[in-house]
Amino acid sequence: MTVLRAVAIGAGHYLPERVVENAEFEARIETSDEWIRSRSGIERRHFAAEDEKTSDLAIAAAKMALENAGVDATSIDALIVATATPDQTFPSTATRVQTAIGMSGGFAFDIQAVCAGFIYGLSNANALIVSGQARRVLLIGAETFSRIMDWEDRTTSVLFGDGAGALVLEAQEGEGEPEDRGVLATNIYSDGQYNDLLYVDGGVSTTQTTGVLKMQGREVFRHAVQKLAEAGEESLEKAGLSVEDVTWVVPHQANLRIIKATAQRIGIPMEKIVVTVQDHGNTSAASIPLALSVANQAGRFHEGDVLLMEAIGGGLAWGAATLRW
C-alpha cells in the first residue's frame, strides 16, 4: 500500500559566537568546573549576543538546512518554530523567520512545549505531510535560554545554552512498511499535574514579566528517565521496529546522566547515542535538531539509518519519534 512519508532531506544549525566555559561561572556563583561536569556532563555552552534574537538563530539554522537540502525557501509550504523564548508575545517567531528567508507563501506558526518542542513539532510536521496539507515543511527548534536564567541559582544557571537546529521534511511515497524512509512513528504526551517541577515564574497574564526558570532537578530527573524510556520503546513498537533495529539515538541533550540512564533502561549502548551536551548545554527545543545537524555534518548518518529521538520538558511534556534517515 502506497503511503506518504515525511522524509528528512536536509539539516542545519547555528550556535552563537560566544562560548561560555564552566570556569566563567566560578567567579559569579559557588560552583566549579568539576561540580558542573560531574552532575550534568556540560563543559561549555553558547550564549547569544545582546542584539541576537531567537529569530536570528532560527534564520541562520534554516538557511543552512535549506542549503543542505538543496531546495529554495519558496518551495516550503509550512514553517514551524519550536521555542519557549520567542522574540515577541505575538506575532509568532516563525513569521519573522518566514519573511527573512524569502518564504513567500504557505504558513508559519510557533509550537511551545519547552524541551519537548521539537518532538511536538515533528509530530505536527508529519501530520501536515501525511494529510496532504504540505509537501515540504521546515521545522526549527530555536532558543535563547540565557534570557530567562536566574544567575544566582547555581543549580540551573549552569545548565542551559542558546542555539538553533533545523530540519527540512519532504513528502515522498513509501510502502507503508518499517523499511520506508521518513518519519515512521511519533508519540507525544503531557501531564499538567507536574507543572511546578520545571517552569518560568512569569507570564503575560500573571506577572506581566518574563520571569526566570525554576526547577526541581531531582524530581525532573526521576520522571525523565522513566518517561523517556517508555516513550522511546512505544515509538519503536508503533514503527514496527525493535531496539536492535536502532542505528542512532538522538536524545534531548539536557544532562549526560539522564542520557546514560535512559539508554541503559532501553538497552542501547552509548556507542549508538549522539551526545553533544558537553559542548552546547541544554538548548531546550533546539537540542535535538542541533544534535541531528552536527552529527549529520560529521557524516555519522547514512541513508537507511534508524534514528530514535526522545525529549522531555516543562509541563511536563514529553515524547519520542522514530525516523529512517
Peptide bond connecting 289 to the previous residue in cis, omega within 30 degrees of 0: no
How many residues are recorded in the chain?
325
Query: Does residue 147 surpass a pLDDT of 90?
Result: yes
Instruction: Give the model confidence (pLDDT) of 29-86 as tens digits.
Output: 988 999 999 999 999 999 999 999 999 999 999 999 999 999 999 999 999 999 999 9
Question: Using CA atoms, how far apart are residues 146 and 161, in angstroms rounded to an integer?
Answer: 6
Is 141 within 8 Å of 290 (Cβ atoms)? yes
Peptide bond into 316 cis (omega under 30): yes
Instruction: Give residue-wise pLDDT tens across range 188-234.
Output: 999 999 999 999 999 999 999 999 999 999 999 999 999 999 999 99
Helices H, strands E: what count in the chain? 9, 13
C-beta of residue 182 within 8 angstroms of C-beta of residue 323:
yes
pLDDT digits (tens, 9 = 90+) for 242-260: 999 999 999 999 999 999 9
Q: Which amino acids are annotated catalytic?
A: 115, 252, 282
pTM: 0.97
- Locate 239 and state its grid cell: 514503527
